Structure formats: C-alpha cells, structure tokens
Homo-oligomer: A and B are copies of this chain.
Amino acid sequence: MASMTIQNLSPNILQMEYAIQGPVVARAGEIEEELKKGVKKPFKNVIRANIGDAQAMGQPPITFIRQMIACIAYPKLIEEGNFPEDVRKRAKEFLQGCSGGTIGSYSIPHGLGHIRRRVAEYIELRDGVPADWKNVYLSAGATVAIQYCLQLFSDRSNGRKNGILTPVPTYPFYSACYSIFGINLVGYYLDEDSNWDTKIEELERSLVEAQNTCNVRALLVINPGNPTGQVLSRKNIEEIIKFAYKHNLFIIADEVSQDNVYSGGKRFYSFRKVMIELGAPYSSIELVSFTSVSKGYMGESGLRGGWLELNNIQPDVQAQLFKYISAMGTPNVIGQAVIDCVVKPPSPGEPSYDLWLREKTAVLESLNARARLVSESLNAIEGYKCNVVQGALYAFPRINLPPKAVAAAEEANQLPDVFYAYRLLEETGICVVPGSGFGQVPGTYHYRTTILPEYDQLRTILETIRTFHQRFIAQYT
C-alpha cells in the first residue's frame, strides 16, 4: 500500500482548481504534440490565447533591460564597454548592492535594500504622496507576494473560516489560493452591462449573505481587471474604499497591469493614491497592493519580478508577515534587476533613453490598437457581446449559446462554455479559457482571450472565431 494516496493527501489540494492551466489548456498541449507527429488538423498551429504571455506571442523585450541583465550576469561586459554608458553604470550600481558584489549571492529575503528604496521612490512619483521603502517587499513575481499575503488569512485555527470579497469573474489564481489556504471566496458580481463596474449594492448584498457562513475580513480588487479588461474610475474606487472603511475590511489591490491602460478617457489610479487623497478616516485603511514586471510594456514574465507594498498594516502584523517571508526563501536577484529598470528607466539625455522610449511606446501603442481591434471585432459577431478592453491584456466576451448547444454540452458532460472552448480549440487551434473558470452570472457564457497575438495574426484569429461561431450556431439552431 502506498503511503500517500488520493484519500489521505491534503484535501485543500484535492479540491483546488485552476482554469488557466485546466483541461482545455492541457488538450492544447496534446494537440501540439499531435501536430508534431503529423496528425492532420484543420489548422497548422495552436494559438495560445489562454495566457497573458506577451513575449511568447512575439512582443520584443526592452533592450535596456536585457543589456542590464547581460552586464550583471557577466560583469566583464561592463568593463569591455560595448554597451551604452548608462547601462554599464546602472549594472555596476546594481552589483554594489548585492552581497559580495554578485548576482550569485542570496538576496535579502525582502529584496535588495537599494531596489526597495527605488520602488518606494517610484510609488511616490506615481501617486504624488510619500512612500516608505520598508513597506515594500520584492518578490519573484506578484504570484509569490499574493500567496504570502493571503496566507495571513488562512484558517488553521478552529471556528469559522475567513472570507474575502472577490470580484466575479475573477482571476482564478485567487480561487486556487483560497482553496489551498482555506479561505472562503465571497463573490461579488461585476456589472457587465456597465462595462464591468463595481456596484456598491452588490458588494453589500454579497457581504450580508456571507456573514452567516464566514468572517469577511478583506476585499479584493483587480484593477485593471483580469479577465474583464476594465479600468476602475476614480469615483468607483472612492466608493469601494468607503465601503471597505464602513465594514472594516482589509483591501487587497491587484494592480499588476497598471501600465496597461488603453481606452481614451481612462487612467490608472492606485487604490493607495485615492485612499490617501480621500483623507481621514479613509487614509488609514489597511491596504496591500501588488505589481509585476510580467505585464506592462516590458512583459518579462519569465524573469519573475514583482512587489507588494503595504499601507497602514499594524506593525506587529507586518513583522509577522516579514518573518514568514524571510523563512520561505529569497526572491531571485535578476527579477529584482528588472524591477530596477522598470522603476527607474533611462532619463531624457541618457544614452539609452531614446531607444527605451521608442520601444516602450511601440509596445503600448500596439497593445492599444489590438485592444480596440479585439473588442470591436468580437462585438461585431452576431451573438457576441464584448465590453471595451480598457486595460490589462484580456477580453472576456459574452456568447449567446442556443438551447441545442447547451443540450449538446450536457450530453457531453461539459459546461456549455467549456464545450464551446473545446470546439473552438479542436476546429481552429485557438486556445481560450472558458468563463466558468473565472465565474460568471449563472446562465451566461464567456471566455477569456488575450489581446496579445501580433496585429495581423490577431485579425486572422478574430476572423477565424467569427466563421467558427457562425458554423457552431448553424449546427445548433
């Protein structure tokens, strides 16, 4: 008999689900293998529109960042002098802040002090209000920082579980973490009809309903939205903050896509800025916010850099969190070098400035155009409704599925949106994530797609989706 069986492993792992790497995506991997083996398909490649992985889809890296990494990895390149002077200077500075002057030594568990200071300066500049570097923790991507933070709400004691108010649809990494840590997901629906706004009545409804079953301790916001692509207005943020204050909720702000804002009138406001500018009593709300170098214009997903910043956390609680973080291993040093480049990019007049600006602008303008293309093209399909992609890297269109299609899905023992996503994958090679993995109003069907394929490819993809959908509808009407 085995020692570890499906019956006696941690039930929290057993019940955890994660749609982004779920069965549809696993099938995409199988199809890729089949294509390699020469199996005939109605398409040549799988298009992985399931994950916000910019460089995998062809987005070029920022030269300044990559030259910096080359220099710190192999410091002879600093001496040899083939790279721009500002890159070499920055690389030298970076190494001076590492133990032993090398990226081969462990980072301080909370991140290198000189980079934490620069992140605080960046936050200060972004928000126009001071930031303390001791409240910044650098992590190997936002995912790690989010896990550490959520763990604070873990229910290992007896009694009722903690609950976190969580937008629905939501990024399923949160629901996965809640399962692992024993936290209740207290869902509040985003209002699809007003381009995914957060309605305070809905927050109130959800909170009241949940209070019988768990201790609602915190409120999660994802801005810009994942999977919705929505950017919260300043007014909406103010309302949410006032709601959190009224109910003594800790705010967890996922702001990883803060550099990705496309839509005309929209602008990114950090929860921190709005909260502090609202003044007392709101400015004392407990807040943690997350950022990442995986998104933005840099898209350095593979290098794993991110941070959290804490506001108004009780000092003894913060000490506990930092103690915990320091035990769980140290973040990789190169991810911190990427953070360094992002929070303190080349300044006007420095040798790398022009190229950096050109590259950054090209990426953001192109994402802007693609965001528009995606929502306009999907909206033009009969039976589709797609809100404007205001920010982030995703669209979350709603699809009308005829009753016959719903029945066919039931017969196949699949949810209707899963059935649709499988069919799309098998017939076109386009891999998206079914809406049920994110949560959706019952009876509605969606999927998440990224806006990341390059413009011309994206046009083809959207046209393929249109003809697929027409075929699908014809079959089930």
Residues of A within 8 A of B (CB): 1-6, 8-14, 16, 18, 20-21, 48, 51, 53-59, 61, 66-67, 69-71, 73-74, 77, 98-100, 102-107, 109, 140-141, 143-144, 147, 151-157, 172-173, 176-177, 180, 182, 217-218, 248-250, 286, 294, 299-304, 312-314, 316-317, 320-321, 323-324, 326-335
Whether B6 and A302, one on each chain, are in contact in the complex, defined by CB atoms closer than 8 angstroms, is no
Contact check, B218 vs A3: say whether CB atoms are below 8 A apart.
yes
Residue of B at shortest CB range from A318?
B4
Query: How many protomers of this protein does the assembly include?
Result: 2
A419 CB to nearest B CB, Å: 22
Contact A303 B6 (CB under 8 A): no
Is B176 a contact of A156 with CB atoms below 8 Å? no
A300–B51 alpha-carbon span in the complex (Å): 30
Which residues from B are CB-within-8-Å of A326? 18, 21
A286 and B4 form a contact (CB under 8 A): yes
CB distance from A249 to the nearest CB of B (A): 6
Given A105-B53, A105-B55, A107-B302, also A320-B100 (CB < 8 A): no
B99 close to A53 (CB less than 8 A): yes
Are B99 and A56 in contact (CB-based, < 8 A)?
A: yes
Complex Cα gap A155–B152 (Å):
17
Contact yes or no, B102 A6, CB < 8 A: no
Q: Are B12 and A154 in contact (CB under 8 A)?
A: yes
Bound complex: CA of A66 vs CA of B74, how far in Å? 5
User: A107 CA to B61 CA in the complex, in Å?
Assistant: 16
Closest to A29 in B: B108
CA distance A55 to B102 in the complex (A): 7
**Shortest beta-carbon distance from A158 to chain B in Å:** 10
Given the known interface contacts A104-B300, A107-B302, A180-B151, the answer about A3 and B248 at a Cβ–Cβ threshold of 8 Å is yes
Q: Say whether A18 contacts B332, CB under 8 Å.
A: no
Closest to A284 in B: B2
| B105 engages A302 (CB within 8 Å) | yes
CB distance from A393 to the nearest CB of B (A): 13
Inside 8 A of A77's CB, which chain B residues have their CB? 70
Which chain B residues lie closer than 8 Å to A217 at the CB level? Answer: 3-4, 8
Contact across chains for B313 and A21 when beta carbons are under 8 A apart: no
Residues on B with C-beta less than 8 A from A249 are: 3
Whether the Cβ atoms of B100 and A58 lie closer than 8 Å is: yes
Q: How far is the CA of A157 from the CA of B326 in the complex (A)?
A: 27
CB distance from A209 to the nearest CB of B (A): 20
In the complex, what residues of B have CB within 8 A of residue A172's CB?
327
Q: B334 to A303, Cβ gap below 8 A?
A: yes
A452 to chain B, nearest CB (A): 10
Instruction: Please report the C-alpha to C-alpha distance between residue A151 and residue B179 in the assembled complex, in whole angstroms.
Output: 12
User: In the bound complex, do residue B299 and residue A143 qualify as a contact, i.e. CB atoms below 8 Å apart?
Assistant: no
| Chain B: CB-nearest residue to A139 | B329
The closest CB in chain B to the CB of A248 belongs to: B3
Please state if A4 and B302 are interface contacts (CB–CB under 8 Å).
no
Known: A154-B12, A180-B324. A104 touches B334 (CB 8 A): no
Are the C-beta atoms of B286 and A328 separated by less than 8 Å?
no
Given contacts A55-B104, A304-B329, list 11 more A-B pairs with CB under 8 A. Answer: A3-B249, A4-B314, A9-B320, A10-B157, A14-B320, A18-B323, A21-B323, A55-B105, A56-B100, A106-B302, A147-B329
- The smallest beta-carbon distance between A301 and chain B, in angstroms, is 5
Centre residue among A3, A11, A102 by max chain B CB count within 10 A: A3
Return chain B residues, CB-CB under 8 Å to A304: 140, 329-332
Are the C-beta atoms of A56 and B106 separated by less than 8 Å?
Answer: yes
Ranked nearest first, the 6 interchain pairs of A and B with the lowest CB-CB distance are: A143-B329, A18-B327, A55-B104, A56-B105, A56-B99, A302-B333
Query: Which residues of B lie under 8 Å from residue A286 when comparing CB positions?
Result: 2-4
Partner of A103, one of B57, B153, B154, B302: B302
Does B66 contact A141, Cβ atoms closer than 8 Å?
A: no
Q: A21: which B residues are within 8 A, CB to CB?
A: 109, 323, 326-327
CB-CB nearest in chain B for A100: B56
With a cutoff of 8 Å between Cβ atoms, the chain B residues found around residue A321 in the complex are 13
| Nearest Cβ on chain B to A164's Cβ, whole angstroms | 11
